[in-house]
């Protein structure tokens, strides 16, 4: 029963490593761990930028037209005398979304952890294409810088929303933005290239470079999630890139793909964007689900409940994710019959998410729960993702979507999914894998304080947006006080803004803990969480090449509290070939 199918991979485990210069080692490194850490700093920087932009927006919404503190720092094209202009507000809306979706969350989930974890968790010495990997990072850097620099050009940064609906995005005479919009396009084309390069690499690595014994059924759920995410990225990103280039041509050389006067069709952009955009939503949540599954399992000291169903759910979500894009377009003017079919597929895609939620609860059920910081964030993820998932059902119902489409209800929903969901999982992952990355522990007490405050202020900031949406408050309004049905919601705006400021401030606690621990944290043992997957069975941080001894895998990824292992409550994937575990069949 327990025979190990140890396919020889032919990959030498300990390579010859020459001493490398600082630049080769830390700047133009091809080591997947260094690249992962580079992505970590890059994406945390953009998380900060995106957060700052959000703070400016919240100021304007709470105190419309009042001069901002430090507003004098802005040029008169953005905020004369510190008073924010509507066109600047719209640029903030656009760039907040762009930075958060593409440069913070996506890079944190995929850029950081696919790079860092995939080789370590499958027992490989590095990625299949290390130089491609380096190129992927060094394409993402200029992409981000171009987006950031667009604030400084004439006309300001892009102002058509992060979805950049045509024709507004395609015609400077309507938006007042020309160069900024073009830079936005170029930035995302570059980022798409980075993502495609990365995805190719992740897929190849997972298929070809698993350690002996690392069967598909023994891969940690994180690897499964990142693998499927890479496939999503590889299929969806080129569609966005194609659409972006068409949009660029519309602006610069007068093609009219999306402009109706000469036969173009504005809805075409929406179809292209959301054909990418909905899989993108899952790119932004599947890896988070993988982290959470793994951290919940380690924190509960129990195997993941329904491992195969969890994998199946990831695959199902990925597949269904490609046939639901039209639910973003129920009110767009596309044929209502199409709306009905998209409504049905959208209802169906909620099922795998429900399965995952119940399986997470099953994982905690009868466990022995250790409430360390990563575990708290993972539990927080489940509690908040559920709200984001359930609020999605309101929108999935096309007739009710008539009312809440383009209102704050949508804003609340996306933040419950991307902040309450993805970002909570990212925090869990950072606290969890920090010791592996930097060889030191993050401070657990400050981590818990960070968690508690984030959880509280997150809910105070975003839950009330549901109520604003139900009152009919539209999105992306510079000043909501002009409508009779939203005029008396100014108090809610105030509550949200103060909570958002507090939420931003909790980031300071995190930043101090993060950077402080990097230099002064307690030294981390190889396996501080007593976890089972391979990355914990090598020193913290792992050396170049990852392994002192090539790992051979005998067990499933989450074997906690195995009854045949009595001296401890965990069974590493590469130890005790004598013990039989279910996934070893």
Residues 266 to 285 in contact with other proteins, rule: CB under 8 A = 266-267
Which range of residues in 106-114, 256-264, 503-511, 535-543 is near other proteins by CB under 8 A?
A: 256-264
The only residue of 35, 40, 54, 85 in contact with other proteins, by rule CB under 8 A? 85
CA distances from 329 to 200, 302, 324 (A): 31, 42, 10
Query: Residues 113, 571, 213, 207: what is their CA dihedral angle, to the nearest 10 degrees?
Result: -20
CA dist 435 and 133 (Å) reads 23
Q: How far is the CB of 547 from other proteins (least distance, A)?
A: 28
User: Taking a C-beta distance cutoff of 8 angstroms, is the pair 48, 252 a contact?
Assistant: no
- Rule CB under 8 A: say whether 332 interacts with other proteins: yes
Helix axes 221-252, 179-208, angle to 10 degrees: 150
- Rule CB under 8 A: say whether 470 interacts with other proteins: yes
Binding mask 352-371 for other proteins (x = CB under 8 A): --xx-xxx-xx-xxxxxxxx
Q: How far is the CB of 362 from other proteins (least distance, A)?
A: 7
User: Taking a C-beta distance cutoff of 8 angstroms, is the pair 490, 481 a contact?
Assistant: yes
H or E, element range at 428: helix 424-438
The only residue of 4, 245, 383, 579 in contact with other proteins, by rule CB under 8 A? 383
CA dist 75 and 73 (Å) reads 7
Which range of residues in 102-110, 189-197, 385-393, 413-421 is near other proteins by CB under 8 A?
A: 385-393
- DSSP string over 436-484: HHHSBPPPHHHHHHHHHHHHHHHHHHHHHHHHHHHTTPBSS-S-GGGST
Q: How far is the CB of 248 from other proteins (least distance, A)?
A: 12
Q: Which is nearer to other proteins, 150 or 194 (CB)?
A: 150
Binding mask 165-204 for other proteins (x = CB under 8 A): x-xx--xxxxxx-xx-------------------------
Neighbours of 302 (CB within 10 A): 22
Residues pairing with 560 in the sheet: 570
Q: How far is the CB of 379 from other proteins (least distance, A)?
A: 6
Q: How far is the CB of 167 from other proteins (least distance, A)?
A: 5
CA dist 130 and 35 (Å) reads 9
CA dist 207 and 404 (Å) reads 43
Q: How far is the CB of 305 from other proteins (least distance, A)?
A: 5
CA dist 95 and 220 (Å) reads 35
Q: How far is the CB of 391 from other proteins (least distance, A)?
A: 8
- Rule CB under 8 A: say whether 484 interacts with other proteins: yes
The only residue of 12, 72, 75, 582 in contact with other proteins, by rule CB under 8 A? 582
The only residue of 47, 49, 56, 93 in contact with other proteins, by rule CB under 8 A? 93
- Rule CB under 8 A: say whether 72 interacts with other proteins: no
- Rule CB under 8 A: say whether 260 interacts with other proteins: yes
- Rule CB under 8 A: say whether 482 interacts with other proteins: yes
CA dist 295 and 289 (Å) reads 10
Considering only residues 283 to 302 of the shown chain, the ones binding other proteins according to CB under 8 A are 300-302
- Rule CB under 8 A: say whether 336 interacts with other proteins: yes
Size of the site for other proteins (CB under 8 A): 120
Neighbours of 54 (CB within 10 A): 22
Q: Which is nearer to other proteins, 203 or 496 (CB)?
A: 496
């Amino acid at each position: 029963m327990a025979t190990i199918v140890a396919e020889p991979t032919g990959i030498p485990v300990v390579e010859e490593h020459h001493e490398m210069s600082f630049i080769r080692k830390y700047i133009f490194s091809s080591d997947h761990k260094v690249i992962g850490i580079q992505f970590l700093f890059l994406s945390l920087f953009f998380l900060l930028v995106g957060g700052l932009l959000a703070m400016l927006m919240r100021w304007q919404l709470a105190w419309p037209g009042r001069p901002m503190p430090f507003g004098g720092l802005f040029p008169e094209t953005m905020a004369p005398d510190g008073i924010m202009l509507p066109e600047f507000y719209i640029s903030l809306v656009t760039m907040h979304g762009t930075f958060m979706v593409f440069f913070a969350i996506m890079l944190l989930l995929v850029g950081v952890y696919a790079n860092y974890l995939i080789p370590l968790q499958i027992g490989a010495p590095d990625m299949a294409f290390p130089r491609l990997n380096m190129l992927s990072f060094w394409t993402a850097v200029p992409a981000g810088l171009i987006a950031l620099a667009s604030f400084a050009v004439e006309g300001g940064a892009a102002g058509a929303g992060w979805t950049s609906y045509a024709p507004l995005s395609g015609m400077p005479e309507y938006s007042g933005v020309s160069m900024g919009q073009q830079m936005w396009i170029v930035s995302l084309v570059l980022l798409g290239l980075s993502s495609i390069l990365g995805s190719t690499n992740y897929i190849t690595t997972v298929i070809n470079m698993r350690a002996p014994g690392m069967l598909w059924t023994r891969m940690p759920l994180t690897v499964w999630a990142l693998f499927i995410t890479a496939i999503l990225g590889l299929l969806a990103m080129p569609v966005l890139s194609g659409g972006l280039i068409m949009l660029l041509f519309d602006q610069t050389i007068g093609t009219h793909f999306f402009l109706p006067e000469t036969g173009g069709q504005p809805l075409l952009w929406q179809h292209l964007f959301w054909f990418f955009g909905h899989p993108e939503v899952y790119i932004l949540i599947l890896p988070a689900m993988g982290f959470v599954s793994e951290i919940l399992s380690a924190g509960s000291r129990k195997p993941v409940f329904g491992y195969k169903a969890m994998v199946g759910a990831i695959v199902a979500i990925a597949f269904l994710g490609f046939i639901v894009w039209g639910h973003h377009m129920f009110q767009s003017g596309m044929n209502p019959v199409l709306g009905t079919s998209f409504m049905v597929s959208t209802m169906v895609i909620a099922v795998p998410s429900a399965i995952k939620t119940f399986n997470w609860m099953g994982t905690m059920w009868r466990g022995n729960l250790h409430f360390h910081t990563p575990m708290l964030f993972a539990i927080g993820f489940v509690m908040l993702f559920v709200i984001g998932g359930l609020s999605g059902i309101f929108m999935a119902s096309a007739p009710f979507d008539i009312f809440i489409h383009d209102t704050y209800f949508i804003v609340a929903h996306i933040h419950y999914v991307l902040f309450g969901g993805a970002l909570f999982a990212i925090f869990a992952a950072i606290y969890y894998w920090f010791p592996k990355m930097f060889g030191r522990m993050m401070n657990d007490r400050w981590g818990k304080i960070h968690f508690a405050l984030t959880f509280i202020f997150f809910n105070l900031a975003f839950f009330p947006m549901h109520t604003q949406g139900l009152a009919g408050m539209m999105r992306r309004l510079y000043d909501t006080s002009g409508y009779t049905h939203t005029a008396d919601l100014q108090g809610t705006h105030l509550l949200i803004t103060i909570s958002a400021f507090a939420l931003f401030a909790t980031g300071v606690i995190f930043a101090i803990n993060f950077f402080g621990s990097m230099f002064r944290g307690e030294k981390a043992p190889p396996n501080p969480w007593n976890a089972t997957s391979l990355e914990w069975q090598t020193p913290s941080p792992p050396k170049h090449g990852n392994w002192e001894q090539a790992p051979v895998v005998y067990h499933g990824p989450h074997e906690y509290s195995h009854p045949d292992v009595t001296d401890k409550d965990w069974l590493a994937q590469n130890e005790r070939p004598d013990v039989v575990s279910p996934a070893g069949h």
